[in-house]
A and B are shown apart, each in its own frame.
Chain A
Amino acid sequence: MADLEYKVIVGLEIHVHLRTATKMFCGCELAYGQQANSRVCPVCLGLPGALPVMNKKAFEYSVLAGLALNCEIAKFTKWDRKGYYYPDLPKNYQISQYDLPFSEHGYIEIPVEGPQAKKIRITRAHLEEDAGKNTHTSGNYSQVDLNRAGTPLLEIVTEPDMNSGAEVRAMAVELQRIVRYLGISEGDMQKGHMRFEPNINLAITKDGKEYRTPIAEIKNLNSFRALEASVNYEVVRQLDEFERTGKVMVEGSKTTRGWDDAGRQTVLQREKEEASDYRYFPDPDILPVVMTDEWLGEIRGRLCELPLKKQMRYVADYNLSEYDAGVLTGERANAEFFERVVEAGGEPKRVCNLLTQMGLKVANARDCGLAELGLKENDMAKLAKMIEGGDINASAGDRIMQEMMVSDKGPGKIARELNLIQKSDAGELEAFVEAVLAENEKAVEDVRNGGKKSKAARGFLLGQVMQKTKGQANPQVVNQILQEKLKSK
């Protein structure tokens, strides 16, 4: 085989359901899993004379997303009709945005290997309506449910800046965190709140010449796993096809493929219609939107610290590991609870350990957030201080925390009641140590002789002291006393 190098090039189209109470252009309720066709009105049905009117909240949510994605927000934006001939949108067009989207030219930062985040450029983000749902029955017909038709849908298009399946996945995960932080979408993949369409091809260098393989677009992926797997599959498939046929990209053409989850492969669907075939034209029903500086400022005020920034700040300021910082910043409410405990005086690392271990374990089991466990921020800070000061050990901390979830008592009181306070008073502990040394002459000798047995013997003596104090001695203090005693005799 000839010398061949290649680079993976992926751009992404993402559709996000916005979390409004009602649809994009009518007052029908947005509800998942309800009786089919129970959330439908003349606007949804595209009946003659029905007038769609835009949901203000959906528009503002979109602008908020645009700002979080560092986009320029258009001062003037309008809506267009896009030809669409499937029964899940009975109007025969989709209300979308063509030449004047509400936002363009942004970027998102995603975590990648190494200390620096990677910038993925955002081409544009626009606001449109979702279609209903077709179900294919075993008979010779399909069923249509229009409950979803008209759901506000944010479409985000990136530049082809991702270079692996893992990066595509990181981008998708980051976007999910962002929309959840902003509260503009639940981002629930199971409910189809986010759908992904990667555009993939390869830049191949062979014998000093560069070739581009034909672009494949994978439709409608709704899990991170399928997204990453489909990109990885395409890389192998395109490389193989290039080696067999030498086929290269023709400008302006791409093929559409689907993901076969069971077979773990992509399957050819069709050659794409050209953009002009959608026959966009301005929608006379929907009035354009003019964005004022004042209004934009008001929306900007609703932004929050974004998850990746928060995560990097936790690593830099609190010295937490990337992993722990990632776990804590997974949900905005959890991160904010953590921050309140730290603000109340809890040492960040101790607080992090309590919250990411016992805290999240219980929260996940109860399907709630850290803030809903009945823990008071001040008490959590006190608990962290008790561990930090050596008054209790870490496992006692977990136990006390569980008790705090069900009682109003403070951690100090609980620790005393459960007899979990460690003895750290050197004078008191010295007597225990001396008694143990007197009872275990053989072990003492082993320690003093050094060599192989020394370490085990030292551990044994520490264990004996712990036993004598019913586990309430502070092991660090005991160790110090042991060290002194074993040296000075």
Chain B
Amino acid sequence: MKKIDAEQVRKVAKLSRLDLTDAEVQEFSGQLSAIFKYVEKMNEVDTDGVEPLAHCLGVNNCFRDDVVRQSLGVEKTLANAPERDDEFFKVPKILDDNSGA
């Protein structure tokens, strides 16, 4: 019995805007299940009284000053764009526009 079934893989793929073939769904279902099993194994460790870790480095308060640095410039910025429209990135029309952070 797989821990992550095909249905769950499809859901996660949809959320990530990934288009998977049926064969890929099967493949990832196996891989993800293996990862999941491994994580479950770690669950066996007794973590009572251990603070959850927010960051693996154990370093805090790393800032930079609010000083302007040179940006790339329009040409370099767009150099790797699949398509451009003047100085803009050109992308497929956004249909359901709920963008905006």
Residues in A lying within 8 Å of B, measured CB to CB = 15, 20-22, 26-29, 35-42, 44-45, 53-59, 76, 78, 83-89, 92, 94, 96, 100, 128-131, 134-137, 139-146, 153, 195, 219-220, 256, 269-270, 277, 279, 282, 284, 287-290
Contact = CB atoms under 8 A, between A and B. Distances in A.
B61 interface: yes
B66 A20 contact: yes
A56 B100 contact: no
Interface stretch (B22-30, B34-42, B52-60): B52-60
A284 B15 contact: no
B60 A289 contact: yes
Given A36-B88, A37-B88, A29 B66 contact: no
Nearest to A26: B69
A38 B87 contact: yes
Contacts, number: 158
Contacts of A146: 77, 89
Contacts of B94: 86-87, 134, 136, 142
B90 interface: yes
Contacts of A55: 63-64, 66
B62 A130 contact: no
B59 A27 contact: no
B67 A21 contact: yes
Nearest to B101: A131
A84 B74 contact: no
Contacts of B69: 22, 26-28, 41
Given A54-B64, A131-B99, 15 more contacts: A26-B69, A27-B67, A40-B77, A53-B62, A76-B54, A94-B101, A129-B101, A134-B91, A141-B83, A144-B89, A144-B91, A145-B87, A145-B89, A287-B60, A288-B54
B43 to A, nearest CB: 17
Report the 10 A-B pairs with minimum CB-CB distance, sorted nearest first.
Answer: A27-B69, A143-B88, A56-B63, A86-B99, A57-B66, A144-B89, A131-B101, A78-B54, A287-B62, A40-B77
Contacts of A219: 98, 100
Contacts of B96: 269-270
A39 to B, nearest CB: 5
12 contacts: A15-B101, A36-B86, A40-B71, A41-B69, A42-B72, A45-B77, A76-B54, A85-B17, A136-B94, A146-B89, A282-B55, A287-B55
A10 B59 CA distance: 40
Contact of A287 (B59, B70, B91): B59
Interface residues of B, number: 42
Contact of B77 (A37, A59, A130, A282): A37
A27 B64 contact: yes
Contacts of A128: 101
A155 B54 CA distance: 21
A56 B99 contact: no
B61 A22 contact: no
Contact of A288 (B60, B74, B87): B60
B50 interface: no
Nearest to A30: B68
Contacts of B57: 287
Contacts of B63: 53-56, 59
B99 A54 contact: no
B66 A22 contact: yes
B88 A144 contact: yes
A25 B71 CA distance: 13
Nearest to B63: A56
Nearest to A144: B89
Nearest to B99: A86
B78 to A, nearest CB: 6
A137 B89 CA distance: 12
A53 to B, nearest CB: 5
Contacts of A256: 98
Given A39-B71, A45-B77, A277-B15, A84 B101 contact: yes
A130 B101 contact: yes
